[in-house]
Amino acid sequence: MAQYFKDVWLGTATTFHSMWVTLRHFFRPNNGYTLQYPTQKATLPERSRMRLFNKIEDCIGCGQCARVCPTDCIDIQTEKRGKDEPAIFASDGTAIKLRTFVFDIDMTLCCYCALCTFPCPTHCLVMTPEYEYSVYDKRDHIYHYAVDRPMAAKPAAKEPEAPKA
């Protein structure tokens, strides 16, 4: 019987205590933890890991990012650039010898570990502080970065016309 009244007392006391804590905060000004989103935005810590971005112009198609990804969310397809094609370079001077015609990142599979960004030799794959990228269609979370096409899909170069006599 004594235990019963002890439990009732404990339950009542803790209820009033938690209500007292709530009441105290009710009349205090904004404590800095509650944000009026979206008019107020959170200041993220340095090196926050959010949306990935690939500066495709600097990507050499080495595939190191895809190999290290634990969730297999990076899909890269490349082919060798022809010897007769003009030499191109990433902004750090690395020669681009492969044509990257598929570079997709499926952000629905990404676990934001950032492992893919570390081995990138040209530092073109980075995690940005961008965290507002919700979409209505899940397919919109697959980012297609490649802008080039495979050689076979390109229209054949026209034969130069013979000069008229």
Point out which residues bind ligand SF4 (CB under 6 A): 52, 54, 59-65, 68-71, 73-74, 76, 105, 110-116, 119-122, 124-125
Residue among 24 and 134 whose Cβ is closer to ligand SF4: 134
Residue among 25 and 47 whose Cβ is closer to ligand SF4: 47
Beta carbon of residue 139, minimum distance to ligand SF4 (angstroms, whole number): 17
Beta carbon of residue 136, minimum distance to ligand SF4 (angstroms, whole number): 22
Q: Which residues contact 101 (CB under 8 A, 6 or more apart)?
A: 77, 78, 79, 146, 148, 149, 150, 153
Residue among 11 and 119 whose Cβ is closer to ligand SF4: 119
Residue among 7 and 72 whose Cβ is closer to ligand SF4: 72
Q: Which residues contact 21 (CB under 8 A, 6 or more apart)?
A: none
Residue among 12 and 108 whose Cβ is closer to ligand SF4: 108
Q: How far apart are CA 125 and CA 139, in angstroms?
A: 21
Beta carbon of residue 117, minimum distance to ligand SF4 (angstroms, whole number): 7
Beta carbon of residue 42, minimum distance to ligand SF4 (angstroms, whole number): 20
Q: Which residues of 77-106 are buried (b: 16+ CB within 10 A; e: fewer)?
A: ebeebeeeeeeeebeeeeebebbbbebbbb
How many other C-beta atoms lie within 10 A of the C-beta of residue 146? 20
- State the greatest distance between any 2 C-alpha atoms of the chain, in Å, as a whole number: 119
